[in-house]
Structure 1
Amino acid sequence: MRWWDIDQVLELEKGLFPEDAWSRGMFWSELAHARGSEATRRYLVAESPEARIVGYAGLASAGELADVQTIAVAHDHQGTGLGARLLTELLRAATAFECHEVMLECRVDNVRAQKLYERFGFEPIGFRRGYYQPGNVDALVMRLTTAPDSGTAGGSSSEQGTEING
Structure 2
Amino acid sequence: MTEADLPAVMVIERTTFPRDAWSEGMMRGELADQPRTRHYVVAVLDDERIVGYAGLAAAGDQADVQTIAVLHDHQSRGIGSAMLTELLGEARRRGAREIFLEVRSDNPRAKAVYERFGFEEIGVRRRYYDDGTDAVMMRRKLDG
The structure whose RCO (Cα within 8 Å, separation 6+) is larger is: 1
The 8 Å contact of residues 53 and 68 in structure 2, kept in 1 or not, is answered as yes
The code of the aligned residue for 2:54 comes to A
In structure 2, give the amino acid aligned to 1:86. Answer: M
Shift in Å at residue 146 of structure 1?
2.0
- Partner residue, 1:121: 118
Determine helix, strand or coil for the equivalent of 1:130: coil
List per-residue Cα deviations over 1:27-65 (Å, max 9, x = no partner).
110111113xxx111000001112111000000011101
Partner of 1:146: 142
TM-score with structure 2 setting the length: 0.97
Q: Which residues of 2 match residues 104-119 of structure 1 at below 5 A? A: 104-119=101-116
Verify the 8 A CA contact 2:92 2:142 in the aligned structure 1: no
The number of residue pairs the alignment matches comes to 144
Aligned alpha-carbon RMSD (Å): 0.8
Structure-2 separation of matches of 1:74 and 1:146: 28
Q: Does 1:132 align with 2:132?
A: no
Unaligned runs of 5+ in 1: 150-166
Secondary structure at the counterpart of residue 56 of structure 2: strand
Deviations 1:111-139 (CA, angstroms, capped at 9, x unpaired): 11111100110000000011110x11100
Name 2:15's counterpart in structure 1. Answer: 15
Partner Cα distance (1:15, 1:122) in 2? 26
CA distance in 2, matches of 1:72, 1:57: 6
Structure 2 SS opposite 1:79: coil
Distance 1:108 1:8 in 2: 27
For 2:126 and 2:59, locate their aligned partners in 1 and report how far apart those are by CA, in whole Å.
24
1:67 to 2:59 alignment: no
Give the SS at the match of 2:96. coil
Higher helix share: 2
Partners of 2:100 and 2:77 in 1: how far apart? 24
SS of the residue aligned with 2:66? strand
Shift of 1:96: 1.0
For structure 2, the 5+ residue unaligned runs are none
Instruction: Give me the whole-angstrom Cα distance separating, in 1, the residues matched to 2:47 and 2:20.
Output: 28
User: Which amino acid in the other structure matches residue 74 of structure 1?
Assistant: L
Q: Measure, in 2, the Cα distance between the counterparts of 1:121 and 1:11.
A: 30
Q: 1 CA distance for matches of 2:53 and 2:2?
A: 11
- Give the TM-score normalised by the residue count of structure 1: 0.85
Where does structure 1 differ by over 4 angstroms across 4 or more consecutive aligned residues? none
